[in-house]
């Protein structure tokens, strides 16, 4: 099957707000992580098409305390840049008044420094750029009322010169761009190409009206003029299978050509269309016409991203794909495997159709949850030799089926399969034990979608103990179903 970049994410699943930089012949990409810790996943690629997760940027409590964020808050829209042998990631912790912070590393796999915090810059989506004199500029989406009194509730793009060595700002922030007229100008990135500085932004909001816009100036601090063809990229008001496209970042390849990473979603089902994986990372190529970027999405991707995995916790530490929305990751169990606590031990769902298996002790009190947030989840819970399927949608919670489980080890099952109604999929739950594999209940997947729950994240698969005594998980297996 031919895969084109317009329809196929290069990093599928909940990996939004991509930012990329190149060092030599390697590319490094970071994404928003919101409430999940460790925070800010970082990937590496040699070709922009095939990506491998190196780890996470925020791995210590001194960088991002676990359990400190509500759903779809926490860490927003980081930018990654490289200069003079050092990697820089600048991001926003919205739980701390929208403060902007910078962490650094020589090795992108870590360790990363503790944050350099720049207070008094209320906003989101920061960017770092250096001018020809080596001065560092932090450009961000400002939410401070003092910077936008005549602009109503719309944010503006602001800029401030900073000293990263001393961790201070050198001036008051100033507005450099108010957008092209669409809603919510945000996600700024600055680039130098030839005699021009380019300011790339997201506009229209991160839903169906999302778009990529660009402006340029002879100076890093403006004044900026808008491209005559803005927005330079959007899928709004189309029937294209990938929607909400925007929040992009540009990178120059070694041969002088340019590429763009951006976020998009894959809604499915009847109107309004339901996306369940969150916002994913896509790739486009960029041509330059009259010194303006023109976006093309006709590249052919060589293979489907390899999302299948098996993790045997009896023999290896957790892969960096594992995160938690509320607490530290679990440690080893005395009997082998992982000792689950009450905090959810989670991994992002990567595909539209998939199967997940978790092998656990039959004596354990443990749950396998498909989670969008605290108010929207389905789970299968094993306790006292019985498996029960439960659902929560907003304030409503109910049991929807149960079955006995036999044997010493039980495999909890969940699959995302084709929808039987008008939703994006059905989620069915079951067990594999000494007797057989059998399904207990199937639930409409639309209620675990962003269109129902709101927010900015995607589904995760989470394991947790139901009692204070740690529960042992032996291994897990995730496989995609079908060919997307």
pLDDT tens-digit readout, 95-107: 877 789 999 999 9
Which tens digits make up the pLDDT trace of 217-238?
999 999 999 999 999 999 999 9
Least confident stretch, 144-158, 196-210, 327-341, 367-381: 144-158
What pLDDT is attached to residue 152? Answer: 59
Which one is catalytic: 17, 125, 311, 344? 17
CA distances from 459 to 166, 349, 465 (A): 40, 6, 19
Which tens digits make up the pLDDT trace of 45-76?
999 999 999 999 999 989 987 667 899 999 99
Give the percent of the chain with pLDDT over 90: 83
Give me the mean pLDDT over the 110-122 stretch.
93
244 in Cβ contact with 252 (< 8 Å): no
What pLDDT is attached to residue 8? Answer: 95
Q: Which of 328 and 25 is assigned the larger pLDDT?
A: 25
Residue 192, pLDDT above cutoff 60: yes
Residue 434, pLDDT above cutoff 90: no
Q: Tell me how far apart the alpha carbons of residues 54 and 321 are, in angstroms, rounded to a whole number.
A: 9
- Count of beta carbons in the 10 Å neighbourhood of residue 421: 10
Give me the mean pLDDT over the 145-159 stretch.
76
164 — pLDDT class (breaks 50, 70, 90): very high
Q: Which domains does the chain have, with CATH numbers?
A: 3-301 (2.115.10.20), 309-480 (2.60.120.200)
Q: Tell me how far apart the alpha carbons of residues 409 and 312 are, in angstroms, rounded to a whole number.
A: 14
Mean pLDDT of the chain: 94
410 in Cβ contact with 473 (< 8 Å): no
**Residue 114: active-site member:** no
Among 96, 77, 307, which Cα is nearest to 189's? 77
What pLDDT is attached to residue 95? Answer: 86
Which tens digits make up the pLDDT trace of 254-289?
999 999 999 999 999 999 999 999 999 999 999 999
Which tens digits make up the pLDDT trace of 412-433?
999 999 999 999 999 999 999 9
2 — pLDDT class (breaks 50, 70, 90): low
Least confident stretch, 125-139, 184-198, 320-334, 346-360: 320-334
Residue 44, pLDDT above cutoff 60: yes
pTM metric for this prediction: 0.96
The sheet with strand 99-105 has its strands ordered as 75-83, 86-93, 99-105, 116-118
**Residue 17: active-site member:** yes
Which tens digits make up the pLDDT trace of 331-357?
888 778 889 998 899 999 999 999 999
Q: What is the dihedral of CA 439, 415, 459, 379, to 10 degrees?
A: 10
Which one is catalytic: 99, 186, 280, 451? 186
Which tens digits make up the pLDDT trace of 351-402?
999 999 999 988 889 999 999 999 999 999 999 999 999 999 999 999 999 9
Least confident stretch, 60-69, 159-168, 293-302, 368-377: 60-69
3-state secondary structure of 483: coil
- Which stretches of 316-425 are assigned E, i.e. beta strand? 331-332, 338-340, 345-348, 354-361, 366-373, 376-383, 386-393, 396-404, 409-417
């Amino acid at each position: 099957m031919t895969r084109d970049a317009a329809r196929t994410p290069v990093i599928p699943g909940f990996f939004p707000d991509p930012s990329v930089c190149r060092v030599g012949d390697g590319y490094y990409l970071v994404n928003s992580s919101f409430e999940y810790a460790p925070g800010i996943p970082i990937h590496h690629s040699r070709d922009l098409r095939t990506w491998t997760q190196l780890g996470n940027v925020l791995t210590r409590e001194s960088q991002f305390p676990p359990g400190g964020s509500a759903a779809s808050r926490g860490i927003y829209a980081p930018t990654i840049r490289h200069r003079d042998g050092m990697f820089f990631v600048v991001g926003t912790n919205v739980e701390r008044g929208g403060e902007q912070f910078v962490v650094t590393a020589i090795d992108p796999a870590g360790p990363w420094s503790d944050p350099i915090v720049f207070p008094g810059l209320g906003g989101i989506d920061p960017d770092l750029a250096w001018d020809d004199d080596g001065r560092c500029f932090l450009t961000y989406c400002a939410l401070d009322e003092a910077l936008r009194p005549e602009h109503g509730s719309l944010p503006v793009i602001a800029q401030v010169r900073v000293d990263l060595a001393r961790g201070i700002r050198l001036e008051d922030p100033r507005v450099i761009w108010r957008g092209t007229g669409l809603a919510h100008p945000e996600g700024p990135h600055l680039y130098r190409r030839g005699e021009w500085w380019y300011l790339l932004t997201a506009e229209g909001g991160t839903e169906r009206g999302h778009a990529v816009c660009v402006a340029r100036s002879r100076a890093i601090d403006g004044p900026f003029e808008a491209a005559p063809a803005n927005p330079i990229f959007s899928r709004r008001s189309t029937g294209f299978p990938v929607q909400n496209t925007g929040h992009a970042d540009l990178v120059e390849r070694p041969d002088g050509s340019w590429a763009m990473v951006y976020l998009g979603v894959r809604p499915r089902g009847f109107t309004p269309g339901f996306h369940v994986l969150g916002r994913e990372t896509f790739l486009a190529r960029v041509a330059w016409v009259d010194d303006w970027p023109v976006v093309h999405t006709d590249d052919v991707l060589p293979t489907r991203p390899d999302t299948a995995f098996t993790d045997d916790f009896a023999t290896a530490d957790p892969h960096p794909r594992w995160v938690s929305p509320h607490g530290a990751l679990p440690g080893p169990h005395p009997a082998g495997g992982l000792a689950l606590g009450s905090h959810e031990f989670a991994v992002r769902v990567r595909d539209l159709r998939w199967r997940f298996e978790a092998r656990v002790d039959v004596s354990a009190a443990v749950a396998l949850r498909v989670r969008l947030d605290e108010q929207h989840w389905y789970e299968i819970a094993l306790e006292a030799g019985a498996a029960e399927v439960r659902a929560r949608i907003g304030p409503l919670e109910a049991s929807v089926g149960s079955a006995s489980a036999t044997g010493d080890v039980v495999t909890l099952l969940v699959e995302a399969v084709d929808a039987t109604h008008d939703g994006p999929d059905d989620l069915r739950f079951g067990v594999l034990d000494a007797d057989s594999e059998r399904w207990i209940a199937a639930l409409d997947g639309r209620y675990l979608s962003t269109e129902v729950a709101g927010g900015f994240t995607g589904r995760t698969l989470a394991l947790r103990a139901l009692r204070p005594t740690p529960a042992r998980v032996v291994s897990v297996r995730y496989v995609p179903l079908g060919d997307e």
